Chain A
């Protein structure tokens, strides 16, 4: 289906099902229960899952396939965000022009940066991209963002936002004063009450989810295309490619630009969900984050980057919010002394300590699952299927011994 083989089609359908049912799947615990803290099925976080999923999928096209490790992809995310907000400022709150422009502008930006950076490979390439992104960040944070200067492109630390004095040329009188798609605001939600559960279906989320599915689909197509194969060949042996009559530069540049456009798209979507673009989006830590997402999930795999993005965002948003009060709630059933002890121990890993947990998990995952979360999943699957097979194979086992 869709020009994919059955395995990929199945993967795509699973991802689609997960994305569309996310409001249910991410809210497994009834409201008000102690575990409700772990629910992730609210619009903002779900949006982040899919948007950063897009970012990571795009990054993976470059890194996973060609092995070129860009340390400056956040620059494209930022450029995309700024472009979208500028569209809101100039044209109005319909999200379409913003999304389109963010992809175009980040693509152009990627052409320039990629053209220069791809002259080098390995760590030298990484540092070149890093340098470009850091320059963009520093300039966006200060020189290009001074509200009192005539040239205020980014609005500095505060972040670029829409002011009532902005032109908004296409904003019609009745249209909502919030990002919307032909009148449906990104913020609008439908809620469904089932017993103690409350499920929220948010317009913005579904827009992002659909775009994510399209992005994912495109990435599967790229992975399975001759182009994708060429990119893997670049990673494997550039020398051989040259002597096989292939010019690697346009291949890597195309991959770079495509992944830059994915990043720009993600940035644009971030702005449509929340119309403010901050400079930190371009900082090296943000570039590092997408690297971590991709590796954590499994670089070079189709679904890995999305998993990695979800994993990191989940920690950032859920674990950081568990505070002492919540912990006392959980351990309230214990006798006082033990309650305090338990709270004291766990406290180090949640709330302000969520970074610690994240750091430890990075170390554990990469040490024990070299292929990232995807490998973890595969091992689990293999464990189950092995058990089944072992039962089947038990009888014939004697024959399969190496015989000379």
Chain B
């Protein structure tokens, strides 16, 4: 029984069957990659996991509890964090503040009227956030407006924000897209490190096969809304259907 169990999930957009009978089981403390052609429904699947979309039918269980019908913030408080395909950060806030907010959410829960204590005084939060910035190699951008960063930096910040929540399940939607090679490698190392050090399960969507094959324990290939195969990276690499439909010649 995996920490995440997706059963018979269906989702239609008008005439389009975006997800058709998706079944997926992610084992605890593994890295599970989801790959597949553009428009296969990968992001849609993630949306169903975090409460952005509600599947038409099917069930989604996290750690034995259903996530369906819960608000996104409740699902997050259950321990699921997500990095989006296009960076979602607090553009008007500084990098440091961006990093502090998830730390608060982790410490204080969904709402806390902490109106009269100074942010300055929140030593634990500051320490955590700074630590995370160091980890993400962006401490020098501490006081920068997040919106003014280049896109690769935004994405790194967003990953850092999710990690700082110490989620039990981390969902990554193309985390290294647009990231420079050096940082991609750093990110791979970081993810490896947290996978090894923490009690965390990772589900990752990526088109960069380098990332996928360096990280994944198992891979699910999604095509036209249904899982095509699920297997280990080695098997997937050699799978003829996958090569044809997705990887192409160069892989």
Contact = CB atoms under 8 A, between A and B. Distances in A.
A–B direct touch in complex (beta carbons closer than 8 A):
yes
Contacts of A247: 71, 73, 110-111
B122 interface: yes
A305 interface: no
A240 to B, nearest CB: 5
B118 interface: yes
Contacts of B92: 232, 235-236
Interface stretch (B16-24, B76-84, B213-221): B76-84
A220 B112 CA distance: 18
A222 B116 contact: yes
Contacts of A228: 115, 119
Contact of B76 (A233, A243, A251): A243
Nearest to B97: A229
B134 interface: no
B93 A232 contact: yes
Interface in A212-231: 218, 221-222, 224-230
A251 B114 CA distance: 10
A229 B97 CA distance: 8
A335 interface: no
B82 A225 contact: no
Given A242-B76, A246-B73, A227 B115 contact: yes
How many B residues touch the partner, as a band?
A: 35 or more
A3 B165 contact: no
A227 B119 CA distance: 9
B101 A246 contact: yes
A224 B120 contact: yes
Contact of A239 (B71, B88, B114, B161): B88
Nearest to A255: B115
A248 B112 CA distance: 11
B37 interface: no
Contacts of B120: 5, 224
Given A229-B100, A247-B73, A237 B111 contact: no
Given A229-B100, A233-B101, A237-B90, A243 B119 contact: no
Contacts of B109: 245
B165 A245 contact: yes
A258 B113 CA distance: 11
Interface in B101-153: 101-102, 104-106, 108-122, 125
B58 interface: no
Given A226-B119, A237-B89, A250 B111 contact: yes
Contacts of B50: 243
Contact of A245 (B76, B84, B115, B121): B76
Contacts of A241: 73, 101
A254 interface: yes
A239 B72 CA distance: 9
A4 interface: yes
A148 interface: no
Contact of B90 (A240, A251, A254): A240
Contacts of A244: 73, 76, 81, 101-102, 105, 161, 165
A225 B115 contact: yes
Contacts of A4: 118
B48 to A, nearest CB: 14
Interface centre among B84, B91, B93 (most CB of A within 10 A): B93
Contact of A243 (B81, B93, B118): B81
Contacts of B111: 246-247, 250-251
A230 B100 CA distance: 10
Interface string B148-162: 000000000000010
A245 B116 contact: no
B90 A243 contact: no
Contacts of B115: 221-222, 225, 227-228, 254, 258
Nearest to B84: A243
A245 B110 contact: yes
Nearest to A218: B116
Contacts of A218: 116
A224 B97 CA distance: 12
Given A244-B102, A245-B106, A233 B90 contact: yes
Interface centre among A4, A226, A236, A254 (most CB of B within 10 A): A226
Contact of A226 (B52, B90, B102, B114): B114
Contacts of B105: 244-246
Contact of B118 (A224, A235, A236): A224
Nearest to A239: B88
A254 B50 CA distance: 26
Given A222-B116, A229-B97, A246-B105, A236 B91 contact: yes
A9 B121 CA distance: 16
A228 B117 CA distance: 10
A230 B72 contact: no
A227 to B, nearest CB: 4
A247 B113 CA distance: 12
B93 A254 contact: no
A221 B71 contact: no
B128 to A, nearest CB: 13
Contacts of A246: 73, 101, 104-105, 110-111
Contacts of A251: 111
Given A240-B90, A241-B73, 5 more contacts: A227-B112, A230-B104, A232-B97, A242-B73, A245-B76
29 contacts: A3-B117, A221-B115, A224-B120, A225-B114, A226-B104, A226-B108, A226-B125, A227-B112, A227-B114, A229-B101, A233-B90, A237-B88, A242-B71, A243-B50, A243-B72, A243-B73, A243-B81, A244-B73, A244-B101, A244-B102, A244-B105, A245-B73, A245-B77, A245-B102, A245-B165, A246-B105, A247-B111, A248-B73, A250-B111
Interface of A: 3-5, 218, 221-222, 224-230, 232-233, 235-237, 239-248, 250-251, 254, 258
* In the A-B complex, the 3 residue pairs with the closest CB atoms: A245-B76, A227-B115, A242-B72
